[in-house]
Amino acid sequence: MKNTNFIIILLILAAITKLSSVYFFGDKQISNEWGVMVSSLENNGILASRNINGQFVPNIFMPPLYAYFLYSIKIFFKDLNLFLKFIFFLQTLIGLISCVIFYRILLNFFTIKLSKFGALFFTLFPLNIYATGLISSASLQLFLSLVSIFFFLKIFKKDSFKNILLFSIPCALLFLLRGEFFIIFFFFLFFFFF
């Protein structure tokens, strides 16, 4: 029961800090490369980040998942204010789930007391809080990374098709979200085979 109480307190604390960050520091528009790519998808039907002499150049330097994530929500929420609120709601939700997953990962390595401290530190870490209010793939990347680590650890406990599949799905999404995941994936492979 004490563990459940801690998770509830952790979720409440995370919700308060993340929603405060969104309220005070949240982005007011889709800016930079995300705005360009979503606008290009919306207006031209192509994932492009550059326009050279009226010709759209497909995006090759940024993985497409977050742009399509934004675009799929933009289809339903044409109003910018509602669109941003829904994005921040989703990012807050996955941020809350990330706090619980991080706590469960720590329980594999540390005592309950140390795991609680680590989860609390993670929940109150300023960048973790601030990322929720940004139109950025950071929150989604953190969530998918934690899910992949969680199921990677489960593979070592029980090598089943279900655990391998549940590890593979967030890994595949991470390949489409951030280019640097290729490096991290090699570490997963190294630990798995050696």
Q: How do the pLDDT tens digits run along the chain, 194 residues long?
A: 578 899 999 999 999 999 999 999 999 988 778 888 888 888 888 888 777 887 878 777 788 899 999 999 999 998 999 999 999 999 999 999 999 999 999 999 999 999 999 999 999 999 999 999 999 999 999 999 999 999 999 998 888 899 999 999 999 999 999 878 888 888 888 877 77
Domain boundaries, position 123: 2-32+79-193
Residue 160 lies in a domain: yes
| Alpha-carbon gap, residue 169 to 148, rounded angstroms | 8
Residue 49 lies in a domain: no
| Alpha-carbon gap, residue 132 to 148, rounded angstroms | 20
| Alpha-carbon gap, residue 166 to 101, rounded angstroms | 14
Residue 72 lies in a domain: no
Residue 71 lies in a domain: no
pTM: 0.90
Sequence-distant (6+) residues with CB within 8 A of 119 are: 10, 99, 102, 103, 106
**Count of domains for the chain:** 1
